[in-house]
Chain A
């Protein structure tokens, strides 16, 4: 009797256990499904774009401008702004149910190895759908190798080494002009100077810092100036981050070129300016590349920065022609309390193009994004850069419409002097000697 009762209660208990199990499995399944749905919804909601910049190290101030550009671009995409550029008047990415864009920053410290590690982290751990960056050509080189390996688009809008597009990578796209473009632009400008100013320009010396970027730029300048019939007297390499540049300047003085073509970063740029002045070195003119265009340069050297020619990928003159450029300049100034500079202007289109590709692909699937990128054909009037548009060469993935403007520092401000259609000031040639100013 007692046994029986125990048996029944035992059976009941087993029955109950079975029911309970079925129920709990059901609940569990529902929860999992809900999680998965919400997860996938979540995935659709935020699109992560990885950005690699040298945020610490001696380019930190430059990289800060780039970072702000990225944030501004993301902000324009994510929120409503009454601006006449794509994605401003919508919230999020329309083709992806209004998904929000989030920029995940990786600090390369200017070191190619670190940049590589950061690219890996952004793709693998952060799940970024594409990368932008990485300023220095040497870092871009390694970071884009990682993107190539994982099959993720790498949109590069601020490295100019010719070698980067020569690799024929599938996933690497360059929006900005290369140092080959710059060499061609320089030669055109000098030809124009010879005609307009009746100047006799026959010889030049090329001075460059010795990383990948400086060396490849110097190669291109040597090639195009030689082709155009000018004589390159000397090509002088020097270590980036030098504490003193007397020996470099004295070597240039010994060679006595008509013009000095320089490829340098801001730190050496400041040092060169001081040294030229001390040694009273006055060629017909200086054509500089990069160093004199960085935001810290004019505040650091003051009046001594006047008359140097430099390059820019941003022409504030565009603001007079297109209202949106002016609006973005004002928006930036309001948000960060400083004037927009070319590093900011370069960073913005990389984000916008990534968004555009996702929008057209209606997906973050790499293959679809790749197809969309290859089909890109953005006209100049949708850009805030002085480029003639964005369209990639099918083989090299170089933006064939990219170009630079040449600026001269006049009264401690950059004035566009070339190409003629964007010029806003008359340039000064020859160089006014240091002790006659």
Chain B
């Protein structure tokens, strides 16, 4: 019994830690969806790019992922900004199908580009500063996971502050809730679309950089996290930032605790079952409007 209790605490800690990373990934996705009504199918691939950048900084310039984080964030912001202007902007006025297909195509393109440039090999950052673990009363906390979750929390909080407390952030919120009303408030949609796409891509890129401390890097890695991010955003409510934050933790917990109590084979089924249950009671998700 005591052993079971310990295992449970262990799981809750691991679940919450992974959950914060999911939250940050989902925040990026939900911002992009909210502002542009575009489902960014390439979201996971931007995570992959963030991971690769961290890896390259570590391998070729010997900068630890923790210190290269700001640079990765800036790079991903720029990539997001450019992607918006080259691609997303062009299809926003087009038919819905074009909008769906463009990010889907981008996702396939980025994966293949990564395979072409960097090969399909698995890479791992060996012995980063954030490594090892802390053991307390038989509970093990992996330091890289802890760093990733604290990092995600800090970046998540910063983005939350930006969205809730700055003029640009409030304008982004306004667009995501009502485009027409935002227009009569003098809000220039085009400029803010670019900013929010860039911020969304930066969020997921930073999550990638944090994950690279303990997760293997390879071109297809984005698809794993991408699928979870969609479920998280749907659970939290499309477009809702608070929703994405809360849902991320729920998904992290469901994956680990649910997997343990029922059967690991069903852990993603559990995540989706929770999502279905929430949607039945509240079709807009936890925090949607």
A57 CB-CB contact with B under 8 Å: yes
**Nearest chain A residue, comparing its CB with the CB of B133:** A278
- With beta carbons under 8 angstroms apart, the residue of B123, B140, B214 that contacts A299 is B123
A60-B115 contact in complex given A237-B263, A247-B257, C-beta closer than 8 Å = yes
A302 and B127 CA atoms in complex are apart in Å by 10
Q: By the criterion CB–CB under 8 Å, are A270 and B216 in contact?
A: yes
Kindly supply a per-residue 1/0 record for chain A positions 227-260, scoring 1 wherever the CB is within 8 Å of any chain B CB and 0 otherwise.
0000000001111011111111011011000000
Q: CB within 8 A of B256: which of A210, A246, A277, A300?
A: A246
Q: Is B7 an interface residue (CB 8 A)?
A: yes
- The verdict on B4 contacting chain A, using a C-beta distance below 8 Å, is yes
Of all chain B residues, the one with the shortest Cβ separation from A303 is B126
Contact A280–B18 (Cβ < 8 Å): no
Interface string of A353-397 (1 = CB under 8 A from B): 000000000000000000000000000000000000000000000
Residue A411 at the chain B interface, CB threshold 8 Å: no
A267 within 8 A of B: yes
Q: Is B264 an interface residue (CB 8 A)?
A: yes
Q: A238-B265, A239-B268, A250-B10 are in contact. Are A60 and B220 (CB under 8 A)?
A: yes
Kindly report which residue of chain A lies nearest to residue B15, judged by CB atoms: A246
A244 contact from B112, B256, B263, B265, Cβ within 8 A: B256
A251 to B8, CA, bound (A): 11
User: In the complex, what residues of A have CB within 8 A of residue B260's CB?
Assistant: 246-247, 250-251
**B231-269 toward A: CB 8 Å interface, digit per residue (1/0)?**
000000000000000000000100111111001110110
Q: Is the Cβ of A279 less than 8 Å from the Cβ of B122?
A: no
Asked if B33 CB lies within 8 Å of chain A CBs, one says no
Among A244, A245, A267, A277, contact of B122 (Cβ-Cβ < 8 Å): A267
A274, B120: Cβ atoms under 8 Å? no
Q: B225: CB under 8 A from chain A?
A: yes
Chain B residues with Cβ under 8 A from A299's Cβ? 121-124
Q: Which residues does chain B contribute within 8 Å of A58, judged by CB atoms?
A: 218, 220, 223
When each residue 7-41 of chain B gets 1 if its CB lies under 8 Å from chain A and 0 otherwise, what string results? Answer: 10011001100100000000000000000000000
Determine the residue in chain B with the shortest Cβ distance to A266: B122
With CB as the reference atom, state the residue of chain A lying closest to B252.
A244
Interface presence of A64 (CB below 8 A): yes
CA distance A271 to B218 in the complex (A): 13
Name A61's contact: one of B120, B135, B215, B257 (CB within 8 Å).
Answer: B120
The verdict on B206 contacting chain A, using a C-beta distance below 8 Å, is no
Docked Cα-Cα span, A300 to B55, in Å, equals 12
Verify if B93 is at the interface (C-beta below 8 Å from A).
no
Cβ of B224 within 8 Å of any chain A Cβ, yes or no, is yes
Which A residues lie within 8 Å of B15 (CB)? Answer: 246
Given the known inter-chain contacts A58-B220, A278-B133, A280-B140, please indicate yes or no for A210 contacting B124, CB distance below 8 A: no
* Nearest CB on B from A260, distance (A): 14
Give the distance to chain B from A212, nearest Cβ to Cβ, in Å: 14
Nearest CB of chain B from residue A244's CB, rounded to whole Å: 5
Most B-side CB within 10 Å, residue of A210, A274, A277, A301? A274
- Given A243-B255, A244-B256, A301-B124 in contact, is the A60-B11 Cβ separation under 8 Å? no
Of A239, A270, A271, A296, which is within 8 A of B264 by CB? A239
The reply to whether B120 and A64 form a contact with Cβ atoms under 8 Å apart is yes
B264 and A247 contacting across the interface, CB-CB below 8 Å? yes
Please report which residues of chain B, range 141-199, place their CB below 8 angstroms from some CB of chain A when the two chains form the complex.
142, 145
A56 at the interface (CB under 8 A from B): yes
Please report the C-alpha to C-alpha distance between residue A244 and residue B18 in the assembled complex, in whole angstroms.
Answer: 8
B256 pairs with A61, CB closer than 8 A: no
- Within the assembled complex, what's the spacing in Å between the Cα atoms of A64 and B257? 37
Residues of B within 8 A of A242 (CB): 224, 264, 267
A268 to B74: give the CA distance in the assembly, Å. Answer: 31
- Which chain B residue shows the least CB distance to A301? B124
Any A CB within 8 A of the CB of B119: yes
Known A236-B264, A238-B265, A239-B268; contact A296-B224, beta-carbon cutoff 8 A: no
Among A286-302, those with CB < 8 Å from B are 296-297, 299-302
Residues of A within 8 A of B224 (CB): 241-243
Residues on B with C-beta less than 8 A from A279 are 10, 140
**Given the complex of chains A and B, what is the CA–CA distance between A254 and B261 in angstroms?**
11
| B22 and chain A: residue at smallest CB distance | A243
Q: How far is the CA of A244 from the CA of B257 in the complex (A)?
A: 11
User: Which residues from B are CB-within-8-Å of A270?
Assistant: 122, 124, 216
Separation of A280 and B133 alpha carbons in the complex (Å): 10
Interface contact B263-A236, CB-CB below 8 Å = yes
Contact B11 A250, beta carbon cutoff 8 Å: yes
Alpha-carbon gap, A210 to B266, bound state (A): 10
B residues in contact with A300, CB < 8 Å: 122-124, 216
Tell whether A243 pairs with B225 under 8 Å between CB atoms, given A56-B115, A238-B264, A279-B10. Answer: yes
Q: Which of A236, A241, A243, A279 has the most CB of B within 10 A?
A: A243
Report chain A residues within 8 Å CB of B223: 58, 241
A302 touching B267 in the complex, CB below 8 Å, given contacts A241-B224, A243-B224, A254-B3: no
Report the Cα distance A205→B246, complex, angstroms. 35
Bound: A243/B231 CA distance, A: 14
Asked whether, in the complex, the Cβ of A238 is within 8 Å of the Cβ of B122, the reply is no
- Smallest distance from the beta carbon of B223 to chain A beta carbons, Å? 8
Whether, in the assembled complex, B285 has its beta carbon less than 8 Å from a beta carbon of chain A, the answer is no
CB distance from A86 to the nearest CB of B (A): 32
Bound together, the chains give a CA A300 to CA B257 distance in angstroms of 28
B286 contacts the other chain (CB 8 A):
no
Of the candidates A241, A278, A296, A302, the one whose C-beta lies within 8 Å of that of B140 is A278
Instruction: State A250–B267 Cα separation when bound (angstroms).
Output: 14
Q: How far is A26 from B106 in the complex, measured between Cα atoms in Å?
A: 57
- Which 5 A/B pairs are nearest by Cβ-Cβ distance? A247-B259, A60-B120, A237-B265, A238-B264, A296-B122
6 other A-B residue contacts (CB within 8 Å) besides A296-B122, A296-B218: A237-B263, A239-B267, A247-B257, A247-B259, A248-B264, A280-B135
Q: Show 9 A/B contacts (Cβ-Cβ < 8 Å), sorted by A.
A: A58-B218, A60-B220, A237-B263, A238-B259, A239-B264, A243-B18, A243-B225, A248-B259, A270-B124
